[in-house]
A and B are shown apart, each in its own frame.
Chain A
Amino acid sequence: MLNTVLGLFDKVLTPVLAIGRNLAWMALVLMVAIIMAQVISRYIVNSPLSWTEEAARFLMLWMTGLIAPTAYRRGGFVSIDMLLTALPKKIGGVIALMFLLLALLVLITGIKLGLNHVKSGWIFNSSSLKIDMSWFGYGLLRLKLAWMYMALLVGVILLTVVNIELVLKAIQRLVTPGAGLEAADPLAVESV
């Protein structure tokens, strides 16, 4: 039963996170390009662009929201796990499970707060990100800040799904010792 559910999670999460990773690296490419455009426009073309900083920040937020869940799933979130690994397996497993539930509480609260945050973002226009739509008979189309706020909310939602998967895995490990023991690789994600 638990195995079927976990299989389902894997079937959905793996491709979704892969899409997120692909969007994230492309966002990074664009960020570099945009900041280079900013430097070039200032020194070479001599007409500084106004929208570059905000656009790059927009991309950085989405990059983070889309790829951080992969880092979490691969065990890349920094923690001091000496005690947990030193404790007897059963006790360590129970504490790990409790912590995952606590993290879940944080994330679910985050979703609630994030929804409000995004809602408030529909009121505000971005200061520099706009498209002139007068050709098409519209006025100036300004980007709502909600589109930026959404990056963190999407990140938190994906993290929540990953967290639920981790909870299920922790339960599985407690019920059937020895199952699902691919240890998290501390070097899967480098640190600064």
Chain B
Amino acid sequence: MLVWFLPLFLVFLLIGLPVFFAMLAAPGLVLWFNGQERDLALLYRNVYNGMDSMPLMAIPFFMLAGELMNRGGITMRLVEFSQAMMGHFRGGLAHVNILSSMLFAGLSGSAVADTSALGSMLIPAMEKNGYSRRFAAAITAASSVIGPIIPPSGIMIIYAYVMEESVAALFLAGIVPGVLVGIGLMLMTAYMASTRDFPVARSRATWPERREASVKAIFPLLTPIVIIGGILGGVFTPTEASAVAAVYALIISMVILRSMTLKDVPDVFTKAALTTSVVLLLVGAAMAFKTVVSLSHSAEYLAEFVLSLSDNPLVLLFLINLLLFVVGMFLDAGPAIIILGPILGPIFVSLGVDSVHFAVIMCVNLTVGLATPPMGLVLFVASSVSGERVEAISKAILPFLAVEVAVIFLITFVPVISLGLPRLFGFL
């Protein structure tokens, strides 16, 4: 029985075999025991064909763009812009942190890049301003989750590729949910600021000051508009847009701001290549895995089981959110999406849930998982940037996680939040 590869896979995964090997070893072993050795060659070919893809090339390019923005002093301009806009509120720097994350999200597709770029700048600044270090680290981690929700987004590119969705539709669908997470975090901050007497960062900026900050930040602020506009307008494909974003960031940081020299180039590119290679291998393995999922009809068996729990899509969506949340606690968003997308997606689409809506639920939920203890990657990054213990940050982040969970359920049960924009642009 080929279906046994799924439990075998789970055991491998939970005990600690790297995801890449688990996705190949489990189906491979079962095929081998079944005497279907010929299909092993199919597995190998699918790994190769899965990696050999134009849409996937957007991942290294966006990685690169994020890495470059990170070095190039572009982050600083975004923070200054946020300061001028929101610095005068009580809890000013906390708000600045959140707004910067939202702006940074429009440039990079990764929560990790967001945390390390903004954290290394804002956590010391917040501490100097009178916040506790754990709070500063917690708000940085919590808001960095917006990075992969607001486009461009690495995990959405992966999801679109593995599940054959339109990247543009997913990008559009992520905008409002991402902004909602930001607003939710700001409301929580405002509440905490009034009860805990947070400091203001500066006096209210005058309009000329604001204009100056905007002009200085104009290039990074325009990037997301160029990317999304270019894709929507059919000017370029998402992959081309990502290459343009990378070149653009390179020009800004090397020619205009001169914050990077030719000497830094190998290092930046190597980092992007290193990160990408792991993701590409995973996607390749996922495509092989997906073939076995359909060969074994395991999605059908699983669907039968899921439907036996309830046939109400709303109840099932609630349950699936719990499942995703737990998975997100232990696994990074990218691999989790690669594993669960092909298994869960078809079940919910057949229940009448829109595929783009489901994609957003999955992406947002698993991204929030990046900031949940015990295994939230972003928590580790925030800890290494700030020098605060992970446990302390984990505790301080709880109120913000509560907000994010609320947003997840809002997105789940009000589809128009994600589907409004794609519908407006004719993708649905």
Interface residues of chain A, those whose CB is within 8 Å of chain B, are: 21-22, 24-29, 31-32, 35-36, 38-39, 43, 53, 56-57, 60-61, 63-64, 67-68, 70-71, 76-84, 95-96, 99, 102-103, 105-106, 109-110, 113-114, 116-117, 148-149, 152, 155, 186-187, 189-192
Q: Which residues of A contact B51 (CB under 8 A)?
A: 60-61, 64, 152
- Among B53, B109, B273, which residue has its beta carbon within 8 angstroms of that of A28? B273
In the complex the two chains form, is B236's CB within 8 Å of A39's CB? yes
In the complex the two chains form, is B25's CB within 8 Å of A105's CB? yes
A32 to B158, CA, bound (A): 19
A-B contact pairs, 25 of them (CB 8 A): A21-B273, A24-B270, A25-B273, A27-B273, A28-B273, A31-B61, A31-B243, A32-B64, A36-B247, A60-B51, A68-B277, A79-B16, A84-B15, A95-B15, A99-B15, A102-B21, A103-B18, A109-B40, A110-B44, A113-B40, A152-B51, A155-B281, A189-B278, A191-B275, A192-B110
In the complex the two chains form, is B243's CB within 8 Å of A35's CB? yes
In the complex the two chains form, is A80's CB within 8 Å of B375's CB? yes
In the complex the two chains form, is A80's CB within 8 Å of B45's CB? no
Asked if B54 lies at the interface with its beta carbon under 8 angstroms from chain A, I say yes
**Interface 1/0 per residue, B135-152 and A, CB below 8 Å:** 000000000000010000
Q: Which residues of B contact A25 (CB under 8 A)?
A: 266, 269-270, 273
Q: Which residues of A contact B282 (CB under 8 A)?
A: 78
- Chain A nearest CB: distance from B371 CB in Å? 13
In the complex the two chains form, is A99's CB within 8 Å of B17's CB? yes
A58 to B204, CA, bound (A): 54
Contact A64-B280, Cβ < 8 Å, known A148-B52, A189-B274: yes
Q: Which residues of B contact A60 (CB under 8 A)?
A: 51, 56-57, 60, 280
Asked if B74 lies at the interface with its beta carbon under 8 angstroms from chain A, I say no
A61 to B278, CA, bound (A): 12
In the complex the two chains form, is A79's CB within 8 Å of B273's CB? no
**Interface 1/0 per residue, B234-252 and A, CB below 8 Å:** 0110011001101100000
Q: Nearest 8 pairs between A and B by C-beta?
A: A192-B154, A25-B269, A113-B44, A77-B18, A68-B277, A35-B243, A192-B334, A84-B16
- Among A31, A68, A117, which residue has its beta carbon within 8 angstroms of that of B281? A68
Segment at the A interface, from B166-174, B325-333, B350-358: B325-333
A70 to B270, CA, bound (A): 11
Taking chain A's interface residues, is the majority helix, strand, or loop, or is none over half, making it mixed? Answer: helix
Of B16, B63, B333, chain A has the most CB atoms within 10 Å of the CB of B16
Asked if B397 lies at the interface with its beta carbon under 8 angstroms from chain A, I say no
- Chain A nearest CB: distance from B341 CB in Å? 14
In the complex the two chains form, is B53's CB within 8 Å of A190's CB? no
Count, A-B residue pairs, CB within 8 A = 194
Of A29, A71, A109, A192, chain B has the most CB atoms within 10 Å of the CB of A192
Asked if B276 lies at the interface with its beta carbon under 8 angstroms from chain A, I say yes
Q: Which residues of B contact A57 (CB under 8 A)?
A: 52-54, 57
- Chain A nearest CB: distance from B134 CB in Å? 19
Q: Which residues of B contact A186 (CB under 8 A)?
A: 377, 380
In the complex the two chains form, is B274's CB within 8 Å of A70's CB? yes
**Interface 1/0 per residue, B248-277 and A, CB below 8 Å:** 000000000000000001100111111111
A63 to B425, CA, bound (A): 36
In the complex the two chains form, is B60's CB within 8 Å of A36's CB? no
Closest B residue to A121 by beta carbon equals B48
In the complex the two chains form, is B24's CB within 8 Å of A187's CB? no
In the complex the two chains form, is B377's CB within 8 Å of A191's CB? yes
Q: Which residues of A contact B56 (CB under 8 A)?
A: 60
Asked if B324 lies at the interface with its beta carbon under 8 angstroms from chain A, I say no
In the complex the two chains form, is A192's CB within 8 Å of B57's CB? no
In the complex the two chains form, is B13's CB within 8 Å of A80's CB? yes
Q: Which residues of B contact A192 (CB under 8 A)?
A: 59, 63, 109-110, 148, 154-155, 158, 275, 279, 332-334
Contact A103-B25, Cβ < 8 Å, known A35-B243, A70-B274: yes
Closest B residue to A185 by beta carbon equals B384
In the complex the two chains form, is B244's CB within 8 Å of A80's CB? no
In the complex the two chains form, is B16's CB within 8 Å of A96's CB? yes
A79 to B22, CA, bound (A): 9
Q: Which residues of B contact A53 (CB under 8 A)?
A: 54
In the complex the two chains form, is A116's CB within 8 Å of B16's CB? no
Asked if B348 lies at the interface with its beta carbon under 8 angstroms from chain A, I say no
Closest B residue to A107 by beta carbon equals B21
In the complex the two chains form, is B24's CB within 8 Å of A71's CB? no
A149 to B374, CA, bound (A): 40
Q: Which residues of A contact B112 (CB under 8 A)?
A: 190-191
Closest A residue to B54 by beta carbon equals A53
In the complex the two chains form, is A77's CB within 8 Å of B19's CB? yes
Q: Which residues of B contact A32 (CB under 8 A)?
A: 61, 64, 243, 246-247
Of residues 47 through 101 on chain B, the ones whose CB sits less than 8 Å from some CB of chain A are 47-48, 51-54, 56-57, 59-61, 63-64
- Among A43, A77, A99, A191, which residue has its beta carbon within 8 angstroms of that of B334? A191
Q: Which residues of B contact A190 (CB under 8 A)?
A: 110, 112-113, 271, 275
Contact A78-B18, Cβ < 8 Å, known A31-B60, A116-B41: yes
Asked if B177 lies at the interface with its beta carbon under 8 angstroms from chain A, I say no
In the complex the two chains form, is A83's CB within 8 Å of B240's CB? no
Of residues 350 through 396 on chain B, the ones whose CB sits less than 8 Å from some CB of chain A are 374-375, 377, 380-381, 384
- Chain B nearest CB: distance from A111 CB in Å? 10
